[in-house]
Chains A and B, each alone.
Chain A
């Protein structure tokens, strides 16, 4: 690991004062995007959670080298969409920003050997293959650690590396179902489960994975020893349903779907507004919010109404109150509902679409979108991160490197092989 003690990687911001272009010492700002500078991570990842975990590490400065092969080892997201170029799948680009690419055939003995060598010059491995896939290629934890006892390994298998069902093939979509979340994610009293069209567990995995990675790197830095972290994505999902499981464990209940009901607010829910498929959510919790709500909707007389005097009585009459909210919202735009209610301190929010997000003034204020003027899929903007480091600079994000683009630099400069050897491996289909 490149030692950076006392040698912060600074970069300089240009400031314009009227017509003068000048540098000032005050403007030396540390970059949040270089916090992990000097950390090298080998990524054996495919799909959403693993690659995006790599992207979030690369976005904060780690050198993430993604290892793939056209010999049966391409990231599945390279095939999503209508394109022929494996570098031009929108889904792949989204999940692999800032990641380098090494094309090595792991099924070739020389390919596996090169990876073991590379592990000796790396700090960590990130992988989301099925359990034991890497072991079978001679790239198990012990093999990889032979060249580097300090190596940190973080795995994100769906069902974990051990246990009777660890060999199961799972996607985030399936894990949502297995955890109980799909069943719970529904309006009450429906005749079929709905859940989500998406893959919520992947989102949990790709933020918990990097957290565990940095935590494990801190540990290894302290102890001088490597370690293996195994994050079962299904347990990551269950981590967000703990209260529900306690209802079963402590009370013996079997919790049912609650839809948009929230135990501490009424009126509460998602209400139709003017326009096609336009909605605004409203949450009224305490008496202050209730009073403000009544005034905004033009029903000040309800403030003194004993039937709605406190949160508990409002919860008991929530159907009535939700109908009242709906009457008011349906004649207004979602934006008007939000701004009128928020202006008096009542939680409310437009149910935003993708188009709404791109023009959201708060997200714009946060410089939330990284902008790419040109790419294999044309110009696009993309979310950066859920967090900001206050007072630190943010640099532009980078596109993924093209498939195999880093072969020469990694094998040549990092591992020290000469051009002829690399060319020979190319012919022997070690590098493909």
Chain B
């Protein structure tokens, strides 16, 4: 390929208006990483995500939130008070220029401001609107309030997560928000394809609950087999050893299927000869006797450093990887060699390594960019792109619209 911009930007040229706070923010981020130009519209006081921890040390303020910095990396920022009539008008002008609008307001809230789907398509017939919400735009729970843990609870992932003797344990960060946001982004690509082939716009309704409820076969297992999945710690439901095993300096994650079992016995030369019984090749049987299998395997794994054992396992074709801390992961030579983290410079946070796109196009990865400061692109957007003159701009700022 000769043209770098073309190969690393799948969807360059498309414009996204991102009206989200934290719930739908990852959708706009992925669209940005796909090459679209994403403009974040924040209320004049800033997106509430800017007030969410963790903060950069010494910067517990609107420009120091690391959560905001990650979820909005590479977007532009303009401020607008959509509750004011002139703000509403400006927003609809922006809608007219956009291909995609992403929002995560409570269902009905945008419509109440005169900015619902109908108002938007009046200005732009082929608009793609994607709405991220806890439960969907309509239905008996549509008005329910959501946080991440509510999404994981109502979607069924929380019940099966954690040690069976303890309280169910929520995953790190806000995975249910992220997962629904990724589904929303899939909807956007489908809707763009539809616009190209059928010539129409779309309104995509992404539900956090519905996105989570297809995880881990929880619903399907119950429907097809009458089986209620329960918390099982780190023990996989179908295989053993498929768990975390103690090493000298931490833990290793092993996942041994039917094909890997004989390989494991070969590397583990002094295993109990009872394990050579061919009956143990059957994964279901090993899983039924997981406690026995796991304690046997631990007697082997506990002799090694986790990194050494992972290398040994992989050398013999057995899926094993160390249980890393986040910084272990960042330092890993493979991750380093692939350039997943790349340096960005942010006026407040400084120079640091930021995660990039999780994919490569023809062997090239798009460059990450820092998150915008609040209203950093006001002048660029309102004056240069929309042609608002200086006097009018000053008036809008004075009115508190921008």
> Is the CB of B41 closer than 8 A to any CB of chain A?
no
- The answer to whether the Cβ of A170 comes within 8 Å of any Cβ in the partner chain is yes
Question: Contacts A163-B338, A203-B215 known; A355 to B222 CB distance under 8 Å?
Answer: yes
Q: Which of A262-291 contact B (CB under 8 A)?
A: 262-265, 268-270, 272, 277, 279-281, 283, 285, 289
- Compute how far the CA of A347 lies from the CA of B174 in the bound complex, rounded to whole angstroms: 15
CA distance in complex: A117, B324 (Å): 44
Closest to B230 in A: A277
Contacting residues of chain B (329-343) with chain A, CB-CB under 8 angstroms? 329-330, 332-335, 337-338, 340-341
B50 to chain A, nearest CB (A): 12
Within the complex, the shortest CB–CB distance from B322 to chain A, in Å, comes to: 7
**Interface check A328, CB cutoff 8 A:** no
Question: Which of B269-277, B352-360, B387-395 contacts the other chain?
Answer: B352-360
Q: How large is the interface on B (under 10, 10 to 19, 20 to 34, 35 or more residues)?
A: 35 or more
B182 touches A204 (CB 8 A): yes
Cβ contact within 8 Å between B284 and A82: yes
Of residues 111 through 169 on chain A, the ones whose CB sits less than 8 Å from some CB of chain B are 159-169
Binary per-residue interface labels of chain B (233-245) against chain A in the complex, 1 for a CB within 8 Å, 0 otherwise: 1111110001010
Query: Shortest Cβ distance from B161 into chain A, in angstroms?
Result: 6
Q: Which of B187-239 contact A (CB under 8 A)?
A: 187, 189-194, 196-200, 202-207, 209-225, 227-238
Residues of B within 8 A of A94 (CB): 217, 220, 224
Q: Which residues of A contact B253 (CB under 8 A)?
A: 173-174, 176-178, 182, 195
**Within the assembled complex, what's the spacing in Å between the Cα atoms of A109 and B167?**
56
Q: Decide if the interface of chain A is mainly helix, strand, loop or mixed.
A: mixed
Question: CB within 8 A of A383: which of B185, B196, B219, B229?
Answer: B219
Known: A196-B234, A347-B147. A30 touches B200 (CB 8 A): yes
Instruction: Considering the complex, give the chain B residue whose CB is closest to the CB of A238.
Output: B355
Q: If the complex has contacts A6-B199, A358-B222, A387-B205, are A177 and B145 also in contact, measured as CB distance less than 8 A?
A: no
Q: Is the interface of B mostly helix, strand, loop or mixed?
A: mixed
Instruction: List CB contacts (< 8 Å) of A246-262 with chain B.
Output: 246-251, 253-255, 257-260, 262
| Contact mask for chain A residues 379-392; partner B; CB cutoff 8 A; 1 contact, 0 none | 01111011111111
Contacting residues, chain B, for A186 (C-beta < 8 A)? 162, 169
The digit string for A56-78, where 1 denotes a CB below 8 A from any CB of B, is 10001000000000000000100
Q: Which of B78-86, B150-158, B374-382 contacts A (4 or more CB under 8 A)?
A: B150-158
- Bound together, the chains give a CA A240 to CA B181 distance in angstroms of 11
**B70 contacts the other chain (Cβ, under 8 Å)?**
yes
Interface residues of A in 180-223 (CB under 8 A from B): 180-187, 192-200, 203-204, 207-208, 210-212, 214-219, 221, 223
Q: How far is the CA of A369 from the CA of B220 in the complex (A)?
A: 10
| Contact B326 A245, beta carbon cutoff 8 Å | yes
Least distance between B131 CB and chain A CB atoms (Å): 9
Q: Are B180 and A246 touching (Cβ within 8 A)?
A: no
The answer to whether A352 and B172 have CB atoms under 8 Å apart is: no
Q: Is the CB of A250 within 8 A of B352?
A: yes
Report the minimum CB–CB distance from B191 to chain A (whole Å): 8
Across the interface, B162 reaches (CB within 8 A) one of A76, A187, A346, namely A187
Contacts of B352 in A (CB 8 A): 246, 249-250
Complex Cα–Cα for A170 and B310 (A): 11
Tell me whether A333 is interfacial, beta carbon within 8 Å: no
Residues of A within 8 A of B182 (CB): 204, 207-208, 211
Given contacts A347-B146, A363-B209, contact A246 B167 (CB under 8 A): no
Q: Chain B residues near A281 (CB, 8 Å)?
A: 149-150, 152-153, 158
Q: How far is the CA of A289 from the CA of B257 in the complex (A)?
A: 48
C-alpha spacing A13/B10, complex, angstroms: 37
Instruction: Write the nearest CB–CB distance from A380 to chain B, whole angstroms.
Output: 4
Q: Is B66 an interface residue (CB 8 A)?
A: yes
Instruction: Give 10 nearest A-B pairs by CB, closest first.
Output: A354-B222, A386-B211, A177-B253, A386-B183, A365-B139, A235-B358, A242-B70, A214-B189, A184-B172, A180-B326
A35-B190, A245-B326 known; 18 other A-B pairs, CB under 8 Å? Answer: A164-B334, A178-B322, A178-B329, A185-B169, A186-B169, A208-B182, A216-B10, A227-B7, A247-B326, A249-B352, A347-B144, A351-B153, A353-B228, A362-B142, A366-B207, A383-B210, A386-B212, A387-B183
20 intermolecular pairs with C-beta atoms under 8 Å apart:
A4-B198, A166-B334, A174-B320, A186-B169, A195-B234, A197-B161, A197-B236, A207-B179, A210-B189, A215-B34, A232-B338, A270-B167, A279-B168, A289-B145, A347-B144, A352-B153, A365-B136, A380-B223, A381-B220, A383-B219
